[in-house]
Amino acid sequence: MTLAFVVNSGSSSIKWELLEAESGESVRRGIVERIGEAGGDAADHRQAMTSIIGMLGAEHPVVIGHRVVHGGDLFSAATVVTPEVEAAIEKLSSLAPLHNPSNLAGIRAAQVAFPGIPNVAVFDTAFHQSLAPAAYTYAIDAQVAADHSVRRYGFHGTSYQYVSRRAAEVLERPLGDLRLIVFHLGNGASACAIAGGRSVDTSMGMTPLEGLVMGTRSGDLDPGALFHLAREAGLGTPELDTLLNRRSGILGLSGHGDMRDLVESMKAGDAASRLAFDVYVHRLRHYLGAYIAQLGGVDAVVFTAGVGENSPDVRAGALAGLGGLGIHLDAARNARRSPEPRRISTDDSPVAVLVVPTNEELEIARQSLAALG
């Protein structure tokens, strides 16, 4: 048994899972919440980690894998944590001020709580380091961009790696031969064009705000709208940040940030919910078309994460009327619920459509073990 301990450390919570890396079996999992808050589970990350040790029992992991949101252009693979790696994660906090410091707090707490067990950082951005300059460069003043690290990095990379490998297994074809378009649709949502197992384009950019419509985030928006709101509505940087990250997306359009509630309300006849759903789907189709062109065709379209795995309405909307592109959804297969990876296109559809449940914890566990060599 090779056990890996996977840590997702946020500002006020630590999600953890102990898993058997080869079989993928989850041995134990939990979450310590409201860290540092009155009445919370722990005063700080270190105390939280100590309480987690108590829950692990006799099992000892051989590695601790940490989800780290931003690896900038410094990390293109999972990396064993050294003092230099810690310093780099800290330095990259300017790119992910809400996430990297909390991720680092989890790493430091684990070093104290589990002396002698190696820690590995697994970056959300690493998979997208394969993007070509034409795909990751924003067309702004090159010197300003270079001085401030302004470029597309992309996120959800761990999920894309897991899902693309599983998709190849379902298709019974080598990943190296496949052109995939994967939609990771959770509260945060993004799309990725994958050729031969490598990311060639992705919809999130310098930050996780660009691209698809999300639960509370706007996705793509004319930056000119921000200048307009600053001038006309007097909004400052914090207000604009809150508007686009927390009060936009399907929540901002309809009052429903949860896709289940949105679909229910839409089906009950609510016009704002209808529009929010239509905008969400319109954006999915925008990226689908773009990525078919970037890839020069597509072998499979893959849906994953909360919405992608569970919403037949979203999948049907995204792919309706695309027979001309070789995409034929099977309505009955699409409607069926299952926790298993599955094909939801018709048998004779030239492009396969799959639902592949993601498992970021397992991917972090496996990449962490691989990083140990």
* Residues annotated catalytic, as ranges: 124
In the complex with ligand ADP, the residue whose CB is nearer, 135 or 275, is 275
Q: Is 215 in the site for ligand ADP (CB under 6 A)?
A: yes
Round to whole Å and give the CA distance between 67 and 90.
14
Residue of 291, 315, 76, 260 lying closest to 191 (CA atoms) = 291
Q: How far is the CB of 138 from ligand ADP (least distance, A)?
A: 25
Q: Is 51 in the site for ligand ADP (CB under 6 A)?
A: no
Among 148, 260, 282, 336, binds ligand ADP (CB under 6 A): 260
Among 122, 163, 192, 307, binds ligand ADP (CB under 6 A): 307
**Per CB under 6 A, which region of 24-32, 169-177, 184-192, 265-273 contacts ligand ADP?**
184-192
Place of tokens 């379902």: 170
Residue of 98, 74, 77 lying closest to 87 (CA atoms) = 74
Nearest residue to ligand ADP, scored by beta-carbon proximity: 306
Amino acid at 243: L
Residues numbered 98-127 forming contacts with ligand ADP, rule: CB under 6 A:
none
Q: Is 310 in the site for ligand ADP (CB under 6 A)?
A: yes
In the complex with ligand ADP, the residue whose CB is nearer, 193 or 305, is 305
Among 86, 239, 258, 330, binds ligand ADP (CB under 6 A): 258
Amino acid at 100: N
Evaluate whether 121 touches 78 at the Cβ level (below 8 Å).
yes
Residue 343 sits at the vertex; the CA angle it makes with 337 and 348, to the nearest 5 degrees, is 130
Evaluate whether 79 touches 33 at the Cβ level (below 8 Å).
no
Q: How far is the CB of 119 from ligand ADP (least distance, A)?
A: 23
Q: Is 294 in the site for ligand ADP (CB under 6 A)?
A: no
In the complex with ligand ADP, the residue whose CB is nearer, 186 or 252, is 186
Among 190, 311, 334, 368, binds ligand ADP (CB under 6 A): 311
In the complex with ligand ADP, the residue whose CB is nearer, 52 or 263, is 263
In the complex with ligand ADP, the residue whose CB is nearer, 130 or 358, is 358
Beta bridge partners of 353: 301
For residue 360, what are the contacts with CB-CB under 8 A and spacing of at least 6? Answer: 67, 158, 159, 162
Q: Is 259 in the site for ligand ADP (CB under 6 A)?
A: yes
Residue of 204, 301, 309, 189 lying closest to 250 (CA atoms) = 189
Tokens encoding 88: 């780099």
Q: Is 305 in the site for ligand ADP (CB under 6 A)?
A: yes
Q: How far is the CB of 82 from ligand ADP (least distance, A)?
A: 29
Please, what is the angle between helix 259-267 and helix 312-319, to 10°?
80
Helix spans in 247-356 (H): 249-254, 259-267, 271-295, 305-310, 312-319, 331-335
Q: How far is the CB of 257 from ligand ADP (least distance, A)?
A: 7
Q: How far is the CB of 254 from ligand ADP (least distance, A)?
A: 12
Output Rg (C-alpha) for the chain, integer angstroms. 21
In the complex with ligand ADP, the residue whose CB is nearer, 60 or 260, is 260
